[in-house]
Amino acid sequence: MARDGEPSQFPKTGRFLAGRLRHDMSQSEQVELENMAGSIKTYPDGHRLIARGDVCDHSTILIDGFMLRTLESDDRRYGVSFHVPGDFVDLHCFALKRLDHNIDCVGPTTIAQIPHSEILKTMKERPHLARLFWFSTMLDAAMHREWIMKLEQLTAPRRIAHIFAEVWRRLEMVGLGFEDGFETPLRQADIADMCGATPIHTNRALADLRKKGIADFQRGAVRIPDRNRLEEFAVFTPDYLFGEGALYLRDYD
């Protein structure tokens, strides 16, 4: 969970690395990161923040809402990862300048953007904070690897259960989860895009999860009566999120 008071003290960046390495940021680093972030902007559901190939001179931190990383092929959209508040959604842009994918808003979304000139300055003058930026990017890669494996291993109902388990854990890390599930703007079509299934197959898979009493998805909410049962069904182990677990990062040099 995010430390009490941080989102109010740092409204633009207070959830960055919450539940992971937020504790490793000094007060001065937290202040500097907050000051780096530009003005707050809000976008509507469906807004494409970045399209494949756009030239980027800033990177975006998500303050409120959800975002999907998407690819498009043969007139179909594929969700290859998602973002929750506190995430840098496109820190990759600092090195790549052009993304090979899109960044789409799911539901109303609030962001702040950090100029790449400020990130370059941080790399030169604040190596520890730069290392945390690097960790954030590597974390995206770890989650992407897990998704690739689970898409190969699991049936559609279990893939969806895995998505629910991950979203729940990540929202808890930033203080936005509930004891019995989470709120989400994700729609059935988004879930289909994220698990590589057709809308009809996704509808049947969601019905199966509901019938089994594993998860009940209604637009705007996911309710889960038994976390252990959900995670066992999804073959979900949260270590790759680098929160609590075997890969938890404590002190390091």
Question: What value does the mean pLDDT take over residues 99-107?
Answer: 95
For 245, the 3-state DSSP assignment is coil
The residues, ordered by sequence, that sit 6+ positions from 235 with a Cβ below 8 Å of its Cβ are 150, 153, 154, 158, 162
Q: How many C-beta atoms surround the C-beta of residue 179 within 10 A?
A: 7
Residue 65: closest CA among 46, 80, 52, 51: 46
In this structure, how many other beta carbons lie within 10 angstroms of the beta carbon of residue 238?
Answer: 21
- Are 109 and 43 spatial neighbours (Cβ–Cβ below 8 Å)? yes
Mean of the pLDDT values across residues 226-246? 92
Which CATH code, of 2.40.128.130, 2.60.120.10, 3.90.1150.60, 3.30.200.20, is assigned to 6-145? 2.60.120.10
User: What are the boundaries of each domain within the chain?
Assistant: 6-145, 150-241
Convert the pLDDT of each residue in 58-94 to its tens digit.
999 999 999 999 999 988 999 999 999 999 999 999 9
**pTM (two decimals):** 0.92
Q: What rounded mean pLDDT belongs to the chain?
A: 92
User: What pLDDT is attached to residue 1?
Assistant: 43
CATH architecture of 150-241: Orthogonal Bundle (1.10)
In this prediction, residue 3 carries a pLDDT of 47
User: If you average pLDDT over residues 150-167, what whole number do you get?
Assistant: 95
Query: pLDDT per residue over 183-226, tens digit each?
Result: 999 999 999 999 989 999 999 999 999 999 999 999 789 999 99
Q: What is the pLDDT of residue 247?
A: 67
The DSSP element (H or E) to which 226 belongs, if any, is none
pLDDT of residue 103: 97
Q: Which residues contact 10 (CB under 8 A, 6 or more apart)?
A: 30, 31, 33, 34
Residue 55: both structure tokens together? 């030239």
Encoded tokens for 94:
């600092």
Whole-number pLDDT of residue 2? 45
Share of the chain above pLDDT 70, in %: 94
pLDDT value at residue 252: 46
Residue 104 · residue 44 · CB < 8 Å:
no
How confident is residue 4, by pLDDT bands cut at 50, 70 and 90?
very low
